Chains A and B, each alone.
Chain A
Amino acid sequence: MNTELLGSIAQIVLMVVLAYPLGKYIAKVYKGEKTCLDFMAPLERWIFKICGIDPNLEMNWKSFLKALLTINLFWFFWGMILLYTQQYLPLNPDGNAGQSSHLSFNTCISFMVNCNLQHYSGESGLTYFTQLFVIMLFQFITAATGMAALAGIFKAMAAKTTQTIGNFWSLLMKSCTRILLPLSLIVGFILIIEGTPMGFDGKMQLVTLEGNEQSVSQGPAAAIIPIKQLGTNGGGYFGVNSSHPLENPTYLTNMVECWSILILPMAMVFALGFYLKRKKLAYSIFGVMLFAYLLSVGINTYYEMNGNPKIEAMGIDQVNGAMEGKETRLGPAATALWSCTTTVTSNGSVNGMHDSTMPLSGMMEMLNMQINTWFGGVGVGFMNYYAFLIIAVFISGLMVGRTPEFLGKKVESREMKIATIVALAHPFVILLGTAVACYFYVYHPGFVENEGGWLNNPSFHGLSEMLYEYTSASANNGSGFEGLGDNTYFWNFTTGLALIISRYLPIVGQVAIAGLLARKKYVPESAGTLKTDTATFAVMTFSVIFIVAALSFFPALTLGPIAEYFSIY
């Protein structure tokens, strides 16, 4: 069998197999049970002591959210100031300049909300200091924020009736010290051995074999890449992310990095099963997500390995597949797998250029982000699924004429309203943003020209570039059809707004639903209860998600990738 396909299969198997024990471990961490990393406990206690935080104080959902939002607000100022003044700060051997005000606004928000949309290039847009004290720091703590929010929801779901959902600070800290940090160290060690740079020297100047000068950007890359992948952040150290041969030097590093994208989101689903002691529910959720994921992997692998029909028509040898924007050491199958892995989660790192993938692969990449619930970002991904679960419970409850209940709690109008707003905000932001961009593009060509013309490709593909950008911002993904010239006032500000709305609205909404449900009286299961851990209900949830999320985008996708597909096949 083809060794590239074997590589892809091995990666998927390794994810699923290792997600199970990791999920078990994560459930133990959040429950506060004994684990092998308990030696971190004194350190955590000591940090809390000097910060004046009581990690044992139980919070209700409102004070939980208040703590979450306040520290995020603080991070915003932290990031803005450091990015704007980076040229005056230490660790800048290449003498890179500070970011403009609109670029630092966009960069800061995008890393604060765990999106990592990058309108700059890593080699020249940041210094080693900001790479470490803004980018990498945010990649840890914002991922931990999402995980802490989910841990709060777990607690709310597990309790019979409760006012409190845990302590935000403690969950934040544990997500860092017990989960993200140890995994990052392991991945970092592998990357270093395989040749990813981890030093503080500036660019390496050398003379090539043909006698030309070449300067090679390097730096502390091996520290940032592990957490970029594990925290579903995706903001690359180098401009071209993991297609860069120093960021992702071998097929082994590619396997490890791709594995790191999905391992925590997968493990989180199992963690839910262990935490709630409802393994069957976790399996049915996992099944739906895995099915959708494999479907898109299949489609993309097929199209990328078969190559571009327009190039086929030129009569050359295209057995290696569509190689535009791809790397020889990885091959099209690995890039297809990664393109789906990074879009089902909110990761957004790439190991090949999505802009150059085939039309339907591009569509699946967008659709994964538009649905935004298959595995999803660490923590927040499952929370999006949770909102759809509530909607599915409600709809199926109505269909069979029963009071909708979920895990022993009645789902009533207030929760439904929040869930619906959360579910509809996502298509609203994406489609509105794209519509506004199209409006400017068509009716104010002078404005667009002043901003550099935006698009790198004409026609249907040009529309896809704009649609992709808002989709990626709104899904807090961060990948891009990078041909779009997006370091401009328009794109920095509008996507910055999209980022804020689509990060905090869902988190607030979902934690609120969980908090509201947790307060309600527990209704024991009876023969009349709608079972939520069956295959039927799994299919039902899949259909609800598909109808609400996917079909909202169908008209837009028809004008972009689908039209492009028919123009070249």
Chain B
Amino acid sequence: MISTLLKSFKLTIAFCVLLSVCYIFILWVFAQVAGPNKGNAAVLELDGKVVGAANVGQAFTKDIYFWGRPSCAGSGYDASSSAGSNKGPSNEEYLAEVQARIDTFLLHHPYLKREEVPAEMVTASGSGLDPDISLKAAYLQVQRVAEARGLSKDKVTAIVKANIEGPLLGVFGPKKVNVLKLNIALEKADKNKNNIK
């Protein structure tokens, strides 16, 4: 027993060196060379200033921006405590919350019919950090954003179209729009307009 325990100890240390040190080191070096941001989360910039992590959603509440999905991470899009709602499908309290979200969404988009409200815009994502929305959810917000910014609807629609990310290899998985990338593109377009003036 004692001799087996001693062997276990030595073997565990050996595994630590092989796995927790060597394996980690190989991947770390690889990330420094081939990773998008030297091993850290990839970031997006606007005017040379970092405005967010590319894959991590952030809260948008102003009318001049496209909005992401409801979030249960911390007080909303808290990227240091990811969480879903974990509400069951039959929970009355939860269903009332969804109802309230639908009403709020309609209030901000008075031009929409109720049956047009996309379910993902009134249900919380799994991580609370979902960076994407569906194409439909993006198109529905175009009118609000265009009005708030004084841009033409066609112009904003064109920006959305330019930011669509298709399925993998064109065949696997859903189409989507990264909300942060879309809003950055929007800001850039808005700036160009101002420059022309």
Contacts and interface: CB of A to CB of B under 8 A. Distances in A.
B90 A460 contact: yes
Contact of B43 (A206, A358, A460, A564): A206
Nearest to B13: A51
A243 B89 contact: no
Contacts of A442: none
Interface in B157-178: 167-168, 171-176
Contacts of A482: 84, 86
B168 A192 contact: no
Contact of A7 (B36, B95, B125, B168): B168
B178 to A, nearest CB: 9
B5 A74 contact: yes
Contacts of B124: 324-325
Contacts of B176: 328-329
B5 A459 contact: no
Given A74-B12, A311-B98, A317-B118, A7 B173 contact: yes
Contacts, number: 373
B15 A137 contact: yes
Interface residues of B, number: 103
A67 B84 CA distance: 42
Contacts of B35: 192-193, 195, 197-198
Given A189-B30, A209-B180, A481-B86, A195 B36 contact: yes
A3 B165 CA distance: 13
B56 A322 contact: no
Contacts of A78: 12
Contact of B79 (A51, A217, A317, A457): A217
Contacts of B77: 214
Nearest to A122: B82
Interface residues of A, number: 119
A184 interface: yes
Interface string A193-231: 101011111011011111010111110101100000000
Contacts of B34: 189, 192-193
B89 A310 contact: yes
Interface string A108-135: 0000000000000101100000001100
A445 to B, nearest CB: 19
Contacts of B1: 70
A132 B24 contact: yes
A356 interface: yes
A320 B84 contact: no
B41 A216 contact: yes
Interface stretch (B129-137, B147-155, B189-197): B129-137
A350 B126 CA distance: 10
A251 B170 CA distance: 12
A314 B41 contact: no
A70 B11 CA distance: 12
B40 to A, nearest CB: 5
B108 interface: no
Contacts of B93: 458
The 9 closest A-B pairs by CB, nearest first: A199-B39, A483-B86, A243-B126, A461-B88, A251-B173, A198-B31, A7-B172, A353-B84, A328-B132
